[in-house]
Amino acid sequence: MPRMMSRPVPQVVMVKHPRRSGVLGLGAGLLFLSFVSKFSERVQIYKAKNQKVKNAPREQVEGLTDLMRFILGSTCSSREFLTVTKLSLMLLLRTVGSVWVSKHWGSIVNSVVSQDFSRLARLVSEFAGATVFLSGLNALLKYYISSLRLQVREKITLWCHEKYMRSKDMIFYKANKVGQKIDNCDHQITSDVERFSDVFAEVFSQSLKPIVDFLVYSVELSRVQGLTTPLTLYSWFAFASCISAVTLPPFGELAAGEQRLEGNFRGKHSELITNCEQIAFLGGERPEKDVLNNSFGELISHCKRSINLAFNSEVLRQYLNKYFCTVIGLVLIARPLRLRPAQLPQFTSDQIAQYFTSTWRNMEAMATAIQDLFELTNRIGRLSGFATRVRQLMLGLESRPPVLNEEIARAQRGPYPPVFKKGPHLKFEHVSVYRPDGTLLVKDLNFTVERGQRVLVTGGNGCGKSSLFRVIRKLWPLVEGTITMPEDKEIYFLTQVNFVPCGSLRDLVIYPQSREEMLAAGRTDDDVRTCLRWAHVSPQVEHDGRAQLEFNDGGRIVKPRLDDVRDWQKDLSPGQKQRLAFARLFYHRPAFVVLDECTNGISPDVEHDLYDRCTRENMAVFSISHKIELKLFHERELRYLGDLEGKWEMNECSHTRDKITRASSTVKLPEPDKDGKKESRITYERHTWFVD
């Protein structure tokens, strides 16, 4: 019965003590790896310090080790470490398998040259069986690389979301609107983190494989040919890589710059989508196309520059590390045969063929490993660029740089340092409001608003009417004075931007509560329906033959139920969005409400009823508006003069007599009328005897 496994063909060695040579080769390989581990990183730092990397000050030049320690140490856990361990094991097993293939291939060549076909058949059968295992290893290797990529992205993204949306800090607002902003923050969290994870997994796998290959093949070549062969290859690659480094472009800065321009290009498209309706009305296709093309042109120019910079380096690297290295390899293979010591036996042609085949494959594999190690300069450069951007993003999300430091410090030394206090009313004592850029908007505000009172805030465009409420919400810092205010939940803000949450119709009203939280608070769906009815946006109330909230779905009228989920942002009109915002306000029933030009899309009759409803619910109302007729619904007017001194006025807004409320306003004319008057006085009246 024939044996299933053939006797191994003795390997041809050219040294007297192969075991000792293998150990020495391992030591030499470890020393060489120590050199390579510093080389790639030092090249990028060297270029930055010599200002070959633009906009990279010396104090900002950090090594990849520090960057990776910060990013992965802040986000990753034992799960990622276990994946790295599995990936390393797969790489080691694959390299061991590759060494076995090289030896086995040499035995096959030996059998072919010696024409031992029975042994050849057994060797081919063994090779076919073993490669099934190797194919499984390759599949596992790709699986763990993909898993590592996904796990790293998941951990970093969730960490960013946690910092970005952490309670009460409002980093999502401050990072995009206040002080030193994070450029294209959305692009960095989505695209930059994804690219970093991809490049990290790629660099790790492509770096670990050549390290394992390098050590294994160093031992194998030293055992067969002695230390001369690996040391010669080490020396040549070190020399060639030092020469290549002179022409190496700054890959880190180029990769970071490309991502920055990608973010700008994406941002231009986002702006186009946001303003598409206005652009369509104005016929602005041509200038907007120019904006998109200019942004894309900058990106393409940068990419072309990167390609051109890499060309010279690639030509030199290909010649030195690939083609001329082949000449050196042939010399090293022939050297033991030409200078064979006398104590070694004469080799037959089939043994020489086996020696050449296995040694050439091992040498080729080690040369590829060394080349890959030095090519880490390119990969590490790209990884450094992405790591720098991700680290800057993480630092920006973890803590925002303070604004208005000088103004706050000056106020703290004065009589009215910035202080927030808790109280039942809203009270301002010597409050001064500044923009984050240091511009004074309002100086020395002093007034009190009790529950149920109504104040109209007026002033010219850009004078900062909304700024006081940004300070109350702590979006902007309080610079000077004392603000006494109730709990944050007792102050509600409706802005002129129509925000529509995702979810069901019920979710739109109770936001940010969930249904479970609504029920736990003792509220029911009947409360939600009542708020919709108060806000004139109820599907159950019909007016002029149609419901206040209904949709035409392909010729079929649909009145949404509380559990219905739709694309509300698309389906709702601007006026319906504003009325739903009022329904949300009535649901939460705060003590104080700020209405920032939030009724522009609502008809006057509905607008009047909404203001009356706020009064009946005993809410103190701050209204920011240019509508003079709204004076009829407010007792006082806070008017910003908009001058450099931050002056303001507090006036009586309206007066009521015999159920008639009157309010007036003076409008300055752009030019004198035919009678020579420069002002026009407008008076409004509201008759309230028909109101319940």
For the chain, count helices (H), then strands (E): 22, 17
Percent of the chain scoring above 70 in pLDDT: 74
Among candidate residues 436, 498, 491, 487, the one with its CA nearest the CA of residue 469: 491
* Cα–Cα–Cα angle for 141, 147, 150, rounded to 5 degrees: 145
What local confidence, expressed as pLDDT, does residue 489 receive? 86
Cα–Cα–Cα angle for 72, 379, 240, nearest 5°? Answer: 135
User: What gap in Å lies between CA 617 and CA 605, rounded to an integer?
Assistant: 19
Q: Which of 21-25, 181-185, 482-486 has the lowest mean pLDDT?
A: 21-25
Single-letter code of the amino acid located at 377: T
**Band of the pLDDT at 510, cuts 50, 70, 90?**
very high
Contact 263, 188 (CB under 8 A): yes
Which of helix, strand or coil describes residue 45?
A: helix
Q: Is the pLDDT of residue 593 over 80?
A: yes
* pLDDT recorded at residue 9: 46
Residue 51: pLDDT band with limits 50, 70, 90:
very low
Across 591-616, average pLDDT:
88
Residue whose token pair is 């498209």: 269
Band of the pLDDT at 379, cuts 50, 70, 90?
confident
- Range with the largest mean pLDDT of 41-45, 52-56, 88-92, 488-492: 488-492
What letter represents residue 79's amino acid? R
Report the mean per-residue pLDDT for the chain: 80
The one-character DSSP state at 52 is -
| Cβ–Cβ < 8 Å for 120, 108 | yes
Q: How far apart are CA 651 and CA 285, in angstroms?
A: 47
All domains in the chain, ordered by first residue: 18-256+316-398 (1.20.1560), 403-500+575-653 (3.40.50.300), 505-571 (no CATH)
Angle at CA of residue 139, ends 135 and 143, nearest 5°: 165
For the segment 91-112, what is each residue's pLDDT rounded down to a tens digit?
Answer: 888 877 877 887 777 678 777 7
**50, two tokens:** 């010599």
pLDDT at 591: 92
* Alpha carbons 97 and 93: distance in angstroms, whole number: 6
Does the pLDDT at position 236 exceed 80?
A: no
Residues 235-262 have a mean pLDDT of: 73
> 144 and 87 in contact (C-beta within 8 Å)?
yes
For residue 59, what pLDDT is reported? 41
First to last CA, the chain: 109
- CA atoms within a 13 Å half-sphere pointing along the CA-CB vector of 196: 31
Q: Alpha-carbon distance 125 to 5, whole Å?
A: 9
Provide mean pLDDT across the span 168-185. Answer: 84
| 52 has pLDDT over 60 | no
- Give yes or no for residue 314 having a pLDDT over 90: no
Residue 288 CA, chain-centre distance (Å), reads 26
Per-residue confidence (pLDDT) for residue 196, from 0 to 100: 92
Per-residue confidence at 193, pLDDT binned at 50, 70, 90?
A: very high
Q: Residue 587: pLDDT above 50?
A: yes
Q: pLDDT band for position 553 (50/70/90)?
A: confident
The pLDDT value recorded for residue 554 is 80
In one-letter notation, the amino acid at residue 339 is L
Reported as a single tens digit per residue, the pLDDT across 523-537 is: 999 999 999 999 999
Cβ(431)–Cβ(482) below 8 Å? yes
Residue 448 has pLDDT above 60, yes or no: yes
Look at residues 340, 371, 336 and name the one whose alpha carbon lies nearest to residue 356. 336
Q: Give the residue, 347 or 273, on which the prediction is more confident.
A: 273
CB 231, CB 35: distance < 8 Å: no
Residue 580: per-residue pLDDT: 93
Q: How far apart are CA 507 and CA 511, in angstroms?
A: 6
pLDDT at 62: 59
Where would I find the H helices in 375-448? 376-398, 405-413
Distance, C-alpha 187 to centroid of its chain: 5
Q: pLDDT value at position 280?
A: 80
**For residue 254, what pLDDT is reported?**
78
Q: Cα separation of 596 and 627, whole Å?
A: 12
> In whole angstroms, what is the distance from residue 628 CA to residue 328 CA?
89
pLDDT at position 197, please? 92
* Residue 428 phi, psi (nearest 5): -120, 125
pLDDT at 443: 92
Instruction: Determine which helix (DSSP H) or strand (DSSP E) holds 459, and give its type and residue range.
Output: strand 454-459
Element (H, E) at 685: strand 679-687
pLDDT exceeds 50 at position 2? no
Which pLDDT score, from 0 to 100, does residue 38 have?
65
- Residue 366 tokens read as 């080690």
**Per mean pLDDT, which range of 43-52, 237-246, 412-421, 591-600 is the poorest?**
43-52
Query: From the CB of residue 77, how many other CB atoms can be counted at a distance below 10 Å?
Result: 10
Report the range of poorest mean pLDDT among 239-243, 436-440, 483-487, 498-502.
Answer: 239-243
The band of 605, judged by pLDDT with boundaries at 50, 70 and 90, is confident
